[in-house]
Structure 1
Amino acid sequence: MRAAQAIEAYAAQAGGGGAVVASHLDVMDFVTPAFRKLYTDFYIKLVNKAPALWGYLYQATHAAPQNSSMQRLRRAVERLNTRALMQQIAAFRPDAIVCTHFLPAELLSRALRQQQLDCPVWVQVTDFDLHRMWVHEHMRGYFAATDEVAFRMRHEGIAPAQIHVTGIPVMPVFAQAPERAQCAAQFGIDPQRKTILLMGGGAGLGSLDTIAARLLALEADFQLIVLAGKNAAALAALEKLAGQHPGRLLAQGFTNQVERLMACADLVITKPGGLTTSECLALGLPMIVNSPIPGQEERNADYLLEQGVALKAFDAVTLEYRVQHLLAHPSQLADMRARALALGRPLAGAVVVEQVLAEGAGA
């Protein structure tokens, strides 16, 4: 969703004066409640309760032959309940479509094959890995996060001319780092003090307030910002903890100013999702990635570790060690920051829009 919003935002800027009109559709708004539950609730429960099983399914569906029973079952399920989506697309009459998830790509591939759609469809892969579920016939082109993902696309039979290495689209606000001192003043924190941003918890590390308490107990001088999102209980627990550590903990609920909080940070602790880590790279932020879900998050983490922009914590003890180590070795932290800045592609969304427009509609 965030990649789609980024592309939509850059499309709105393209050409000037409303020359490009973009609309963001969420496929889950156009399916039955049962289908939505299968694709969202079931996935969330699976990765939280049985991540190893999800990892097996991720690999099994990638390796399964196209005519296998597993692949046929998956496609049979995904062929259901598409009428409302196709009606919405027809009403908008698009000149081009960009898919930022493999489900709409598969649905629209079938529509193109059956001549129910007559505009070019593009696919933006939103991880530092390529699962076969992203690869479909009749697509105009593919946008890859890295050269390695592009290599994997060619291995899957996608023509080189169809592949464009753009990075993963992030919102335009990440194209230029906000000024740290101004952002720190906005949130009431010290811009000169080492600052760690904690985004999300769970998956073996414990609740946010538990992780925050363990970090604040370390013998190191730093400030901690913790994002609780829409979790009211977590925010309340963090605010209580902040009262016990005056001037050291900023508890933050849902915010649309993540980039300004990132601008205050020297290090981010986060799950290795493709979008969040791309935002960190865009701003040159070193990361500690925590307990990646087997499958796409694990592949994302591998990429970030290989590039020298992140360390991995698989439990709370490891997290404490990693934090202490980086704070005690500022030169390593600085090196990770430089590598992250070099790796970031903050203008990926603009490049995607430019490529779609350059190839024209229906050509």
Structure 2
Amino acid sequence: ASAAISLLKEKGMTDLPAATVITDHSDHSYWIHPSTDLYLVGSEGVRAALQRKGVADHKIAVTGIPVRPSYSQHDNKDRLREKLALDLDAFVVLVMGGGCGIIDKSFIEQMQSDSFPPNVQFVIVCGRNVKLLYRLHEALGDRDNVMLTGFLEGIHEWMASADVLITKPGGLTTSEALALQLPMLLLEPR
């Protein structure tokens, strides 16, 4: 969207102000466009990276990564687990990032090994990756300690119900987990 608005501005087809919110812990050149008026970034490190790429300092505001208020509200974990049909006494491991490839063959093999303590419950979120969800259903069957799901509404409740999150180190997800004080295991940090 930033590229499209910048191009429209360059061609004189609009004079609307254009702001880009960077919800990551790093910069990417595909967010930088000559007619962007303002960049809202999560940290001084991202500000410095944009400056090194030629973005003027007056076009950068360090605002932090925006997180919905629902991630700052700590509901009762037992009540949420009852609502979500999770075991009240289990150690709940939430796995997110199926749409991004962190759930691969080795992950599936590890899950098939049954080498986890009996009180561990996994919630594996495949997002919109229907092929992965089907593959996991075939590979893992109907295990009592594994809940497989596609895209979830109210993910903040699932995160607030978990004891640990396994995910990729995306800026928004990690900021949400930090707001919930949810410990994380980050896969493939770059």
TM-score, normalization by structure 2: 0.80
**Equivalent position of 1:114 in the other structure:** 11
CA distance in 2, matches of 1:254, 1:119: 34
Q: Which protein has the larger Cα radius of gyration, Structure 1 or Structure 2?
A: 1
Question: What secondary structure is seen at the aligned counterpart in 1 of 2:165?
Answer: strand
The correspondence of residues 1-363 of structure 1 with structure 2, limited to 5 A, is 104-201=1-98, 202=101, 205-206=104-105, 209-214=108-113, 216-219=114-117, 221-230=119-128, 231=130, 232-234=133-135, 236-237=137-138, 240-242=141-143, 246=144, 248-292=145-189, 298=190
Question: What secondary structure is seen at the aligned counterpart in 1 of 2:16?
Answer: coil
Q: Aligned pair count?
A: 185
The unaligned stretches of length 5 or more in structure 2 are none
For the 8 Å contact 1:105–1:134, the answer to whether it is kept is yes
**Aligned sequence identity (%):** 30
Whichever structure has more helix as a proportion of its residues is: 1
1:305-352 per-residue CA deviation (whole Å, 9 max, x = no partner) reads xxxxxxxxxxxxxxxxxxxxxxxxxxxxxxxxxxxxxxxxxxxxxxxx
CA distance in 1, matches of 2:46, 2:118: 39
The change in CA–CA distance for 1:107 and 1:228 in structure 2 (over 3 A counts) is: closer
The change in CA–CA distance for 1:258 and 1:212 in structure 2 (over 3 A counts) is: farther
For the 8 Å contact 2:97–2:103, the answer to whether it is kept is no
1:15-71 per-residue CA deviation (whole Å, 9 max, x = no partner) reads xxxxxxxxxxxxxxxxxxxxxxxxxxxxxxxxxxxxxxxxxxxxxxxxxxxxxxxxx
For the 8 Å contact 1:229–1:254, the answer to whether it is kept is yes
State the Cα distance separating 1:238 from its structure 2 match. Answer: 6.8
CA distance in 2, matches of 1:204, 1:174: 25
Whichever structure has more strand as a proportion of its residues is: 2
CA distance in 2, matches of 1:236, 1:254: 15
CA distance in 1, matches of 2:46, 2:149: 35
**Equivalent position of 1:311 in the other structure:** none
The unaligned stretches of length 5 or more in structure 1 are 1-103, 293-297, 299-363
Give the alignment's Cα RMSD to 1 decimal. 2.7
**Equivalent position of 1:6 in the other structure:** none
CA distance in 2, matches of 1:187, 1:208: 24
